[in-house]
Amino acid sequence: MGEIQMRTIDRNSYLAKLIDKKENGLIKVITGIRRCGKSYLLFHLYYDYLVQNGVKEDHIITIALDDNVYLTLRDPDKLSEYIRSQITDKELYYILIDEIQYAISKDELKNSENIRLYNVLNGIMRLRNVDIYVTGSNSKMLTKDVMTAFRGRGDEVRIHPLSFREYHDFCGGDKSEAYEEYAMYGGVPLVLFKKTDAEKMSYLQSLFAEVYFKDIFERHDIELQDVFEELTDDLCSSIGSLTNASKVANTLQSVKSIKVSSNTIATYLTYLIESFLFSNAKRYDVKGKKYFEYPSKYYCTDLGLRNARLNFRQQEETHIMENVIYNELLCRGYSVDVGVVELAENLNGKIHRKQCEIDFVVNQGAKRYYIQSALNVDDASKMETELRPLKGTKDFFKKIIVTKTSAKPWIDDAGITHIGLYEFLLNEHSLEL
């Protein structure tokens, strides 16, 4: 691994998105899990960009609502008053507000029709000389309701923990070594500045207890905190497995003797997704062109956090690699489902139908890709097992199999692209190769 210097981490793709949306008449809403780099992007990278491009510093209003210095401004009326008091001429002002969910009360959260903050921001937007940027770590308050709340004037930029490409650009060194490190400690940016394994582990473990759980418990008044933690552990240990609320509830009862309703579990699952700790991929019937309601697959937003939660004990390479690929696809802006293909087999003269799985059905506009994640395909039968669902789609969309190798892309006789994991992750255009 290359020596890590105390230097900045490039988040150029996100910075470019913000620059592209500059002064577009919309409220820029930067979302993502806490500690993934939203504040750094807005208050450092974007702030510096504005100053370097001639914006006066007294025309950039910065407010970090998670800082106790700004405690009084968590009241939306006080926030409005403060911002308006800072606007003293007709030149353009850039308003940067961090962790906006602190200005939304618990009561308002239960009834999102009447969130005062949205009215305040909409009111400020009526001023002609403002450009507003906010960050937040809860999708319910921001992503889901944003278009309604901001009356079509919201524009989301989703930030993820570091991709492997961003990680490797910063650390350098051997690709396979960097990947093993990344698969262990993930892409929360501050991890890169921790010098020892023990420091990295300790930092990641404390994030769960002191940041993520604390936020969720306080905001939602979670009564069954032990159940919530058990659910989190269950999802962490079974990444990429099909599950649903009733299955988890049954498991908790049979294995841990914890009795809890599937409705409670479903609510807790929602909280975990809204806090960006997990994402879920629905199953999609490729030939029938429809979604299955249950079960879904759940993936961790950051593998370092996942490993920390499990005390770094469970390192199933297959599932970890699948999770890394899933996160990479989300970083590139694709929507990702799990594919289901029904295949007919002739066994002893009888036709048997069985469902096979494609790891990822990947969509973006009119583009679609089918992707299999395979740790290794070192014999013909393994290879055939992985290829069968891809061949079974009987359509002309691009099909890709990713293996944990350094292999350059090549195309087999069936038209399926084979590509090594490192090439896939490091080349942002790898789906088009």
- pLDDT, position 146: 52
What is the model's pLDDT at position 352?
Answer: 79
Are residue 235 and residue 130 in the same domain, yes or no? no
Structure confidence at residue 4 (pLDDT): 41
Query: Is 228 among the domain residues?
Result: yes
Instruction: Point out the domain boundary residue: 123, 158, 193.
Output: 158
- Closest-CA residue to 312 (of 177, 183, 225): 183
Residues 234 and 346 in one domain: yes
pTM of the model: 0.93
Domain that residue 131 falls in: 12-158
* 273 and 214 within one domain: yes
Residues 235 and 116 in one domain: no
365 backbone φψ class: left, alpha, beta (φ>0; ψ -120 to 50): left
> Could you tell me what percentage of the chain is helix, strand and coil, using 3-state DSSP and rounding each to the nearest 5?
50, 20, 30
- How much is the pLDDT for 312? 92
Separation CA 392–CA 390 (nearest Å): 5
Token pair belonging to 1:
């691994």
The Cβ-side half-sphere exposure at 18, using a 13 Å CA radius, reads 29
The pLDDT value recorded for residue 207 is 95
Report yes or no on 354 lying in a domain: yes
Domain boundary among the residues 158, 190, 223 is at 158
Domain count, the chain: 2
Question: Is residue 2, in this structure, part of any structural domain at all?
Answer: no
Which pLDDT tens digit goes with each residue over 354-397? 899 999 999 999 999 999 999 988 888 889 999 999 999 999 99
Q: What is the pLDDT of residue 2?
A: 45
For residues 282 and 150, state if they share a domain. no
Q: Point out the residues of the chain with pLDDT beneath 70.
A: 1-6, 112, 140-153
Please state, as a whole number, how many other Cβ atoms lie within 10 Å of the Cβ of residue 143. 17
In the listed set 158, 186, 214, which residue is the last one of a domain according to the structure? 158
Identify whether the C-beta of residue 305 lies closer than 8 Å to the C-beta of residue 188: yes
Same domain, 323 and 352: yes
172 and 116 both lie in a single domain? no
Q: Is residue 1 part of a domain?
A: no
Per-residue pLDDT at 163: 97
Contact 29, 154 (CB under 8 A): yes
Instruction: Let me know whether 225 and 296 are in one domain.
Output: yes
Same domain flag for 148 and 58? yes
Rounded to 10 degrees, the C-alpha dihedral 179/184/186/192 comes to: -80
Which CATH number goes with the domain that contains 39?
Answer: 3.40.50.300
In this structure, the answer to whether residues 141 and 273 fall within a common structural domain is: no
